[in-house]
């Protein structure tokens, strides 16, 4: 069986109702999500022009325009584009990242946003799509699920290092000091770099070292807390046979609960529990 061809008919009303985790429609939850993204983009990147590739119903485009940014969007779904807010319809177009932009759109942008889009492309079209993104801007906010294989239109689900390699082929590297997790936990900001290779490696190593040390320190603290929890439980067992059992148990339970809460906090920081 060959690689499926991309079809805009996949992205109809049924798709947006059933294939986005929750119904993708104009409601306060989705609007609040994209408003929050727009707020962070405006505050931390400050672009004058933005292209949202795979804009769906244009929620991010409208949020950015409401904040004074000259934003545009493209999406292959005719259904989604028809759902855009009336005053936004002039700025969103039925188009694919694989094709030349509509003539009415600018050819370059301060920022390109591409959220959960490229996993919908077959693997043999990904490099072409990334090349187009990199031609449109020197600054790209990008997110693509690393593990959602259940959605039937996800033709090329890949881990973060796959996308890092693809962008690096075009001279784009992760901005290791920018936290894009306000979009998704795996989102990243890719920027064109003219730095020599040794400087790029230095930046990556700086970030890796800090995260590795944090991981080791948290793991060490967790093991210490585990030992303390075991000690307190042993004391609790002994106290059952002595006087003032209730008072001692309450005190020990308070200490144990504090430790359990700290362990949960550490595991969350490490990403081991949601």
Averaged pLDDT, 61-80:
98
232/107: higher pLDDT: 107
Stretch 191-209: mean pLDDT, rounded? 86
Contact yes or no for 47/110 (Cβ under 8 A) = yes
Q: With 0.85 as the threshold, say if the pTM is over it.
A: no
Angle between helices 245-270 and 197-239 (to 10 degrees): 160
Q: Give pLDDT, residue 229.
A: 82
Which two tokens mark 28?
């306060």
DSSP the chain: --PPPP-GGGSSHHHHHHSSSS--SSSHHHHHHHHHHHHHHHHHT--SEEEEET-TTTHHHHHHHHTT-EEEEEES-HHHHHTS-GGGGGGEEE--TTSPPPTTS-S--SEEEEES-GGGS-HHHHHHHHHHHHHH-SEEEEE--SS---STT------HHHHHHHHHTTTEEE-TT---TTT-TT-EEEEE--S-HHHHHHHHHHHHHHHHHHHHHHHHHHHHHHHHHHHHHHHHHHHTTSSSHHHHHHHHHHHHHHHHHHHHHHHHHHTS--
Q: Report how far residue 204's alpha carbon sits from residue 260's, in angstroms, rounded to the nearest whole number.
A: 34
Find out whether 84 and 59 touch, Cβ atoms under 8 Å. Answer: no
The chain-wide mean pLDDT, for the chain, equals 88
* Statement: residue 183 has pLDDT above 70: yes
Which residue from 94, 70, 98 is spatially nearest to 84, judged by alpha carbons? Answer: 94
Please report the sign of the dihedral spanned by the C-alpha atoms of residue 152, residue 154, residue 156, residue 157.
negative
User: What are the tens digits of pLDDT across the range 81-123?
Assistant: 999 999 999 999 999 999 999 999 999 999 999 999 999 999 9
**Which residue, chain included where needed, has tokens 């948290």?**
218
- Least confident stretch, 146-160, 191-205, 228-242: 228-242
CB 50 within 8 A of CB 41: yes
List Cβ neighbours of 144 (8 Å cut-off, separation of 6 or more). Answer: 114, 116, 117, 118, 119, 157, 158, 163, 186
- Checking if the pLDDT of 267 tops 50, the result is yes
Q: Which residues of 43-53 are buried (b: 16+ CB within 10 A; e: fewer)?
A: eebebebbbbb
Of 134-138, 211-215, 257-261, which one has max mean pLDDT?
134-138
């Amino acid at each position: 069986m060959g690689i499926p061809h991309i079809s805009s008919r996949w992205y109809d009303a049924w798709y947006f109702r059933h294939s986005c985790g929750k119904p993708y429609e104009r409601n306060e939850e989705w609007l609040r999500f994209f408003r929050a993204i727009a707020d962070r983009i405006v505050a931390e990147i400050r672009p004058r022009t933005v292209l949202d590739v795979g804009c769906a119903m244009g929620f991010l485009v409208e949020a950015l325009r409401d904040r004074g940014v000259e934003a545009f969007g493209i999406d292959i779904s005719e259904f989604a584009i028809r759902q855009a807010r009336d005053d936004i319809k002039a700025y969103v177009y039925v188009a694919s990242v694989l094709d030349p932009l509509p003539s009415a759109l600018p050819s370059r942008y301060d920022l390109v946003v591409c959220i959960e889009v490229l996993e919908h492309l077959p693997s043999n079209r990904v490099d072409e799509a990334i090349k187009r993104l990199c031609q449109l801007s020197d600054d790209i906010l990008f997110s693509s699920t690393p593990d959602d294989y259940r959605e039937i239109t996800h033709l090329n689900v890949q881990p973060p290092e796959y996308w890092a390699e693809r962008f690096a082929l075009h001279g784009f590297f992760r901005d290791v000091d920018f936290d894009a997790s306000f979009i998704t936990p795996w989102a990243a900001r890719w920027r064109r770099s003219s730095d020599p290779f040794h400087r790029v490696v230095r930046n990556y190593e700086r970030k890796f070292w800090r995260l590795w040390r944090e991981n080791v320190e948290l793991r060490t603290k967790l093991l210490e807390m585990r030992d303390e929890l075991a000690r307190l439980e042993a004391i609790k067992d002994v106290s059952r046979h002595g006087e003032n059992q209730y008072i001692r148990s309450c005190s020990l339970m308070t200490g144990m609960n504090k430790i359990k809460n700290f362990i949960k906090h550490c595991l969350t920081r490490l990403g081991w529990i949601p």
